[in-house]
Amino acid sequence: MTNKKEGNNLRLLERLFKIKENGSEVKTEIIGGLTTFVTVAYVLLVIPNILKIGGMNSEGLVGDEAAKLLMTNDPLIASAFASTCLGATIGTLIMAFKANLPFVLAPGIGLTAFFSYNVCLKLGYSWQQGLAAVFISGLIFIVITLTSIREKIIESIPRNMKLAITAGIGLFIALIGLKSGGIVVANPGTLVAFGDFTNKAVILTLIGIVIMCILVARKVKGAMLIGIIITTLIGIPMGVTQLDSSIKIFSLPHIGQTFFAMDFKGLLTHNGTGIIGALISILMVVITLSLVDLFDTIGTLLGTAQRSGMLDSEGNVRNLRKALESDAIGTTIGSILGTTTLTTVVESAAGISEGARTGLHNVIVATLFILSLFFSGIVGIIPSSATSPALIIVGVLMVGVVKDIDFEDFTEAVPAFFTIAMMPFSYSIANGIAVGIIFYPLMKLFTGKRKEVSFILYILAALFILRFILLPD
């Protein structure tokens, strides 16, 4: 009886996600989902704490004053935590069942930082008005996705640029891992430098890298997940993995303070500049949110799908339109719940590197996201020293495509180089793609090869130049 029930469950999963058809197994999808979750779970804590800096706290403090607040001491920040969990859960499930792809949706850290520091602090919008702008950008996403504009943009990106995006994301992911693991740190004299190798957390990161490299080299199934678990356990006697005896289980935060908190009227009358002035300011905010999310998503989809072979016969991402629709719907829902723009997170590459190829991977991640609502105290137990090695390994795997880029043609080499270099150096996937898109038509135009460039790229290059001039990060 039990075997029959298990067989029925497997057939149901096969019908829903076409697991075998996509070259995967249920076990692989589960391992991939667990790997992605432990790699990306930090956003559940980081996002609310960035939002509080922009004023999303009961005291109404912003900037450094807000940064001193503890998330657990503020019901509004607890509400933001709940919004982040729910937004990520819903967005990830939409991607699972609509597009059947292993790409996780969650609030982007770069976009959330832009929301708090630029929209709220620099431009003076309240967080409620900012959420209204995010909602509008989500509606714009839905419209341009339904009209296939986003697909045409992806199709207009030349092959060498797509390869450069993959390599750039590899370097970017590796930098995130090196930074969060303490191996590289900021330095005013040299920009970056080695961290303190006598620090226990850094030592644990190095141990984790060695363990994970060996497991991956030996082709052990679930190498990164196993490596994360082993490194976390090693961190206990080292004092890096913190087991807090005061952790509360089943402590469900309330979402009411951020749900439907959007202030459209305030957005339109911001600072009393009048309708025209307000519309221009809003337009630039919405365009920036839209462009950054658009190219963050495009970069992650292209980069990880190309590296893992999830492309159709025409060389495009499988179920591309459905993936873009999922992202657009997720952003709109996220703003309603009270969180910032949902984007396809680059950490999805961790689970995909483990072999995940279908939406079942997302169901696992989404389940863990929703469970995090009840176990918020233990979400942060796994130290960054244990997850950082996974990001570094993913970076190693992705950067390999650089060998396929045509560096012999200088008009191709320059935009490819800037795409790769600007992602880690500007700490943004979207910025890297933007700079590459600006240089590509410039190089072709002034070397007599303008016909090699799609008209869409000329428009995008102009938009990015305008965006960098009028609303720089």
Rounded to whole angstroms, what are the CA distances from 76 to 192, 257, 260, 340, 375?
36, 6, 13, 15, 18
Q: From 41, 108, 435, 48, select the one nearest 300 (Cα to Cα).
A: 108
Instruction: Give the CA-trace dihedral at 240, 243, 249, 254, to 10 degrees.
Output: -40
Q: What is the pLDDT of residue 205?
A: 95
Q: Please tell me the number of Cα atoms within 13 Å of 368 on its side-chain side.
A: 22
CA 43 to chain centre: 9
Q: Is the pTM of this model over 0.85?
A: no
CA 253 to chain centre: 24
Q: From 47, 205, 203, 195, select the one nearest 127 (Cα to Cα).
A: 47
b/e map 408-420, b = 16+ CB within 10 Å: eeebbbbbbbbbb
- Bridge partner residues of 311 (DSSP): 317
The Cα 180–Cα 172 span in angstroms is 12
Q: What is the pLDDT of residue 71?
A: 46
Per-residue pLDDT 10s for the chain (473 aa) are 556 666 677 888 888 899 998 889 999 999 999 999 988 887 887 788 778 878 887 766 676 666 555 544 577 777 888 899 999 999 999 999 999 999 999 998 777 877 887 788 877 888 898 899 899 888 888 888 888 777 788 788 888 988 898 888 889 888 888 998 999 999 989 989 999 999 999 999 999 999 999 998 998 877 888 888 899 999 999 999 887 654 555 566 677 788 888 888 888 776 655 566 666 667 777 777 777 777 777 777 877 777 667 777 666 778 888 888 898 899 899 889 988 888 888 888 889 988 899 999 999 999 999 988 887 666 667 788 988 888 888 888 888 888 889 999 999 999 999 999 998 998 887 788 889 999 999 999 999 998 889 999 999 899 888 878 876 65
Q: For residues 330 and 473, is the Cβ–Cβ distance under 8 A? A: no
Q: What is the pLDDT of residue 117?
A: 75
CA 391 to chain centre: 13
Q: What is the pLDDT of residue 242?
A: 80
Tokens of 179: 């930074």
Interacting residues of 195 by C-beta distance below 8 A, sequence separation 6+: 182, 183, 184, 185, 202
Q: Please tell me the number of Cα atoms within 13 Å of 171 on its side-chain side.
A: 21
Q: What is the pLDDT of residue 266?
A: 83
Q: How many CB atoms lie within 10 A of CB 451?
A: 6
Host H or E run for residue 327: helix 320-337
CA 288 to chain centre: 16
Q: For residues 241 and 384, is the Cβ–Cβ distance under 8 A? A: no
Q: What is the pLDDT of residue 276?
A: 62
Q: Give 3-state DSSP helix, strand, coil % of the chain, rounded to 5.
A: 70, 5, 25
Amino acid at 351: G
Q: How many CB atoms lie within 10 A of CB 357?
A: 27
Q: What is the pLDDT of residue 99?
A: 92
Q: For residues 194 and 187, is the Cβ–Cβ distance under 8 A? A: no
Q: From 137, 463, 462, 123, select the one nearest 297 (Cα to Cα).
A: 137
